[in-house]
Amino acid sequence: MNAFFVLAHRWTGLVTLLFLVIASATGIPLVFSHELDALLTPELHRAPDRGQPPPAPEIIARLQRDHPEFQVTAFPLAGAPGRAIEAKVASWPGAPPLDFDQAFVDPYTGAVIGVRADRPGLDRVHLMRGVYFLHFTLLGGDAGRWFMGVVAIAWTLNNVVGFYLTLPSRRPFWKRWKPLWTVSLRASLPRVLLDLHRASGLWLFVGVLLLALTSAALNFYSEAFQPLVVSLSPPKTAPWDRRAPPRDPAYRPGLSFAGAEGLAVAAARRDGLTLKTAVETYDAGLRLFGVRFSGDGRETYAGLGLVTYYVDDRNGRLVFVDNPLTDSAGQKTLRALYPLHSGQVAGLATRLFVGLLGVSVLEMSITGLIVWWKKRKPRVAAKLARRRPQLSQAAGE
């Protein structure tokens, strides 16, 4: 049985090696994707600094007045001096589609600084989205996502098998197991690499296993994870679970972004919510404004993520509150998935830890390959030595 697990660990690792290297090498920069994107494209993210900007809904109103073809679907509410407002835009129902879906807006005037399509590419404007889709789908759409999901499942099982193979089969247990948690720098290079492979796998086993499990869950989210969780613990019924009202190409909301924000904030304060407004959204299909709240006023996913108040765009009525803290265990599980995988559970510290896990997976993949290659030659020589007498006997006969 032990020999079987050794072979399983070896060949599963070799088969998934290339894809784990891609996933870890792309996952490391994705931990800081927004910051890296801002560094790569300063012409989109920066604006002339003229002091504290006006409220973001006021600027978005100017944008829509100057560009009536824009349906703004989301934008951050926490403006900052010298930082452009990154608004998500689309065409109105029945209108010709736009060839972009992001507009970067001057936070003082509402003028458009630049636009781009949210798609992968090798140029610096689209590079981070390219890294994301390479990480998630190998740039292969649903087929690539499913394939990476299978790789994630194999990676999960391989982690468990690798951990099992380190467990001593004889006593004293701890005396035999303890050396595997260390790296002897005085040993030969192959032995140092083997020690590093095993020790990093042991010390970071729980984190890497969680990363693998959440990878599989995200890749098969709509096919398996969400239906299973919802069937076990259904969340509250949301407006998007019901049929949307019929689309009217001439329809425009009777409520402004500023008005919707004020109504949502008033409702949140009545509920005793002490969080800050972070993002405002609009869904023309559902005819709902959404105001998202977070602890620091940014679109972060610390804890279980954002709390959102949804307001009817016709009469300002509060329609739904998406608060994972007061929802079912199933909803809490669904909302915890992305923060756990991306490291946004508790801010910078956990993001750095997930970055470390990515480096560790890359290291274990490379050291595992080198160790296999170093041991392959003796194994092949031993196999030939065992077969030589049989071949000689067969030749004699």
pLDDT tens digit sequence for 20-46:
999 999 999 999 999 999 999 999 999
3-state SS class at 349: helix
pLDDT value at residue 276: 95
Phi first, then psi, for residue 313 (nearest 5°) are -80, -5
- Supply the pTM of this predicted model: 0.89
Sites in the chain below the pLDDT cut of 70 = 242-249, 388-397
Pairing assessment for the beta strands 71-76 and 307-312 based on DSSP bridges:
unpaired
Long-range interactions of 84-92: CB distance < 8 A, separation 24+: 84/44, 84/45, 84/46, 84/47, 84/113, 85/56, 85/59, 85/60, 86/44, 86/45, 87/60, 87/63, 88/118, 92/249, 92/252, 92/284
Is the separation of the CB atoms in 255 and 314 below 8 Å? yes
pLDDT value at residue 384: 74
* Angle between helix 348-396 and 2-30 (nearest 10): 140
Strand order in the sheet with 288-294: 112-116, 102-105, 85-90, 71-76, 276-283, 288-294, 307-312, 318-322
d(C-alpha 379, C-alpha 105), whole Å: 63
Q: What single-letter DSSP state applies at residue 299?
A: S
| Number of other residues whose CB lies within 10 A of the CB of residue 211 | 25
pLDDT value at residue 243: 58
- Which of 306, 308, 307, 301 minimizes the C-alpha distance to 345? 301
Distances (CA, A) of 76 to 99, 291, 383: 22, 10, 64
d(C-alpha 215, C-alpha 210), whole Å: 8
pLDDT value at residue 331: 95
d(C-alpha 382, C-alpha 94), whole Å: 72
Q: Extract the tokens encoding 208.
A: 């890497």
Distances (CA, A) of 209 to 143, 156, 212, 231: 24, 6, 5, 25
Give 106-171 as a DSSP string.
Answer: -TTT--EEEEE-S---SSTTTHHHHHHHHHHHTT-HHHHHHHHHHHHHHHHHHHHHHHHHHS-SSS
| Number of other residues whose CB lies within 10 A of the CB of residue 269 | 10
3-state SS class at 297: coil
Q: Extract the tokens encoding 295.
A: 């602890």
pLDDT value at residue 294: 93
The pLDDT mean for the chain works out to: 92
pLDDT value at residue 392: 58
d(C-alpha 221, C-alpha 69), whole Å: 34
Residue with tokens 């756990």: 340
